[in-house]
Structure 1
Amino acid sequence: MTTLSEPQVHQQLAELDDSRLRVVLMLEIQDGAQQRFLDVYEELRHRVASVPGHVSDQLCQSIDDPRQWLITSEWNDPHSFLEWVDSPAHREMVKPMHGCVSDRFRSLRYNILRETSAKGGATGTRRPEEVVAGSPRAAGAPGGMPQVQPGPDGVIRHALTFTVKPGSEQKVAKILSAYTSPQARVDETTSLRRTSLFMHGNRVVRAVEVVGDLGAALRHVAMQPEIRAVEEAINPYLEEDRELGNPEAARAFFARAALPAVHHTPVVGRVRGDVERQALVYPVRKGNGAAVAKLLAEQDGLAAADPANPVLGSTVFQREDTVVRVVDLQAEAGAQPAAALGVGGEREATVLGSLLDLGPEGDLRTAAGVARFLAECDMRLVTDRSSQDV
């Protein structure tokens, strides 16, 4: 068995590493709230400047439409920004801004590849990364829920994740699985295609597939009395309270719970017999979420093109260091646990193992290690409903 040397592992990790981060926030300020917005920003910018990893920020106003504003900030690395933006301190800090900003905004995050200095010289060349969160919010959609772009098959994929109180898992699973499905057709252009709900310990992941307008589909579902009853029934079991009837509280919940689809490998052509849907949540070492998601997607792309591989397609959802992979496999996939886990060859197993917290005895290069790890990160399927019975 060939083992990668330490320098080789670090080289592989470097290729997946992140660079400096540029965050772009495009806002529409409510009529009459511009001065209040400026006052809030003036206070916030000094507080943000003290956050570790923050480099600079700028506030700009459109010369064509005075309601349109742009905030850009630069960070030493994505890890510093992501750790701050997902913290309770950040949520409390930005609350005063919610009353000034309309529901139409875009949040974009880019790795800095090149820049031109004052003397005109280009500095730095790095591998491009995908936008982590770059889609506009749907008008009228639940606060914080992005209107993401459809995949090559015309399907929009998105997920929500939240945790419930330890000990309540069985009750929550029963509630979430026993509901009356809403009508799949929303309007002439929008319909629900599939809803898959998984649990791992006390973590819940709900993955949805929509054709058309994600916001319209979510509003449609949220208005159904059966769905409202389910959401109210699980509220007492949530680790973090939510008030979906309160616009500000709903915005905060959906922003916390959003788990965007960052990579998708479509199912094409070679389906034989039954197909199983499986979800896995990966224990990512701090700061490695984007690298894990990218590596898994690369392996799934190769697997889906291999007729002998049981992986037919997958969607990788990722936010910061939460990575969930929903994979469609041929029914006999249990005989190939490495493929189900997203592990390719030995080199890929070594790199992925370096990005994950496998424990002191974890090793993805052995069959026993793969089987054990698969059992640990496999999510329980609570319900999976297609367009016929969504």
Structure 2
Amino acid sequence: MTATSERVSEPTMQQASKRVSQSVFDGSRLRVVLLVDVYDGAQQQFLEAYEQMGKQVASVPGHVSDQLCQSIENPSQWLITSEWESAPPFLAWVNSEEHVRMVEPMHSCIRDTRSLRFHIVRETGGQAPSAASGERRLQTSPRIGDGVIRHALTFTVKPGSEKKVADLLANYESPEARVDDTTRLCRTSLFMHGNRVVRAIEVRGDLLAALRHVARQPEIRAVEEAINPYLEQDRDFDDQESVRVFFTRAGLPAVHHVTSGRESEQNERHALYYPARPGMGMKLAELLAQQDERAADDPRSPVLRSTVYERDDVVVRLIDVRSGLDTDPATELGLANAAQAAELTTLLDEDAAKKDGDLARLLTLARMDLITDRRSAPDA
């Protein structure tokens, strides 16, 4: 359940690359903020559910502390803050089936929630951090992003339905890109690997507002209804709890994004699926992230941008490359040398590891099929 604290090839505590706009691998502490709107009259039920959950989360490795706060202006508004040793153990917990079961009692008394996650960059007061012990680590420097939030969803469909599902997902009508004055859908890329679907979304503004906007669009609802009979996990659109659990399990967070700073008029988008050994997903994602950082600083590399997504044992790497990329298995897989290839195979599940370091065969196994890649028109 917990993310490994072992180092893959080198320490994760290092000066953040200026090319990295998003990463969970710098070893700094994490602050999680959960804004909660509780139904009128359900405050006591919510408090009891929180106290029960608090007892359970206190034993989760990587958890440091948490607080529950109630608004002094509106008693229906609550704030839960928690501190974690670093982002990986939190993500391992929050994306686990244990967490899905743990928070279930709270949902009957909650009208709305909003979760925010922050690396701690500076702090004042209290005891000075101990550099020697490595305690209370801070993010070394603020990251410079491009204003785009990256997220993905993944789910599986029933074997034998892949072609039908691909046709449905390739031919739906795109939703309205504008969400509101501050939020806009930028790009949606949809890939399949066998019976697994991955939908990568890029948003400028508020991700939650964008996801809700998309869910309300009739063209999206129509395609979701059309693929519903083919899903391996049941989803009942007449049952809000069923829908909530489905999309909770489908969430595939971006854990690392790096850009080379180079642009190309013609580029191609590829996705690769790395099935990890049980419990090795975060470690595998870290290995890929380290290599992508190196590639970003190499002017010869054809990779322009890379985003690594991870949840449990599912790792997906989305790359934008200069068009005409030669068949170079090591580059496309995100590897620098034979040692990294050998390390990668130790982290893959048994079927993938049977490729015995044959990068060409491993690349064939990892490549995902592009179903659709849609960009919205630039703002007027």
TM-score normalised to the size of structure 1? 0.74
**What is the deviation of 1:378?**
0.8
> Which residue, 201, 214, 218 being the options, matches 2:207?
214
Q: Unpaired runs of 5+ in structure 1? A: 1-9, 112-118, 131-149
Q: How many Å separate the matches in 2 of 1:107 and 1:153?
A: 19
Secondary structure of 2:326's match? helix
Secondary structure of 1:335's match? coil
Aligned to 1:39: 48
User: Is the 2:175–2:217 Cα contact (8 Å) retained in structure 1?
Assistant: yes
- Does residue 243 in structure 1 map to residue 251 in structure 2? no
User: Is the 1:270–1:307 Cα contact (8 Å) retained in structure 2?
Assistant: no
The residue type equivalent to 1:233 in the other structure is A
The residue type equivalent to 1:68 in the other structure is W
Q: Deviations over 1:217-276 (max 9, x none)?
A: 33333233222110100011111122345433332222211111121122533426x311
> Which residue, 104, 109, 124 being the options, matches 2:113?
104
Q: Deviations over 1:113-169 (max 9, x none)?
A: xxxxxx999584279698xxxxxxxxxxxxxxxxxxx97222221111111111111
- Does residue 168 in structure 1 map to residue 161 in structure 2? yes
Aligned to 1:376: 365
**Cα 1:342–1:52 shift into 2, 3 Å:** same
Aligned to 1:68: 78
**What is the deviation of 1:349?**
2.8
**Cα 1:85–1:161 shift into 2, 3 Å:** same
**Cα 1:33–1:167 shift into 2, 3 Å:** same
Identity %: 48
The residue type equivalent to 2:291 in the other structure is Q
Secondary structure of 1:37's match? helix
**What is the deviation of 1:52?**
7.8
Secondary structure of 1:332's match? coil
Aligned to 2:34: 26
Secondary structure of 2:370's match? strand
Matches within 5 A, 1:290-329: 290-329=282-321
> Which residue, 170, 175, 181 being the options, matches 1:182?
175
Aligned to 1:116: none
User: Is the 1:21–1:78 Cα contact (8 Å) retained in structure 2?
Assistant: no
**Cα 1:57–1:308 shift into 2, 3 Å:** closer
User: Is the 2:284–2:315 Cα contact (8 Å) retained in structure 1?
Assistant: yes
Aligned to 2:345: 353
**Cα 1:183–1:308 shift into 2, 3 Å:** same
Secondary structure of 2:232's match? coil
Q: How many Å separate the matches in 2 of 1:181 and 1:323?
A: 27
User: Is the 1:199–1:379 Cα contact (8 Å) retained in structure 2?
Assistant: yes
Q: How many Å separate the matches in 2 of 1:229 and 1:151?
A: 38
Aligned to 1:153: 146
> Which residue, 71, 95, 98 being the options, matches 2:104?
95
The residue type equivalent to 2:110 in the other structure is V
User: Is the 1:192–1:209 Cα contact (8 Å) retained in structure 2?
Assistant: yes
> Which residue, 246, 252, 261 being the options, matches 2:245?
252
Aligned to 1:6: none
Secondary structure of 2:309's match? strand
Q: How many Å separate the matches in 1 of 2:87 and 2:255?
A: 19
**Cα 1:34–1:45 shift into 2, 3 Å:** same
Q: Unpaired runs of 5+ in structure 2? A: 1-5, 14-24, 121-126
Q: Which has the higher contact order (CA 8 A, sep 6+)?
A: 2
Q: How many Å separate the matches in 2 of 1:186 and 1:374?
A: 38
What RMSD in Å do the two structures reach over aligned CA positions? 3.9
Q: How many Å separate the matches in 1 of 2:315 and 2:88?
A: 16
**Cα 1:41–1:184 shift into 2, 3 Å:** closer
Q: How many Å separate the matches in 2 of 1:181 and 1:246?
A: 25
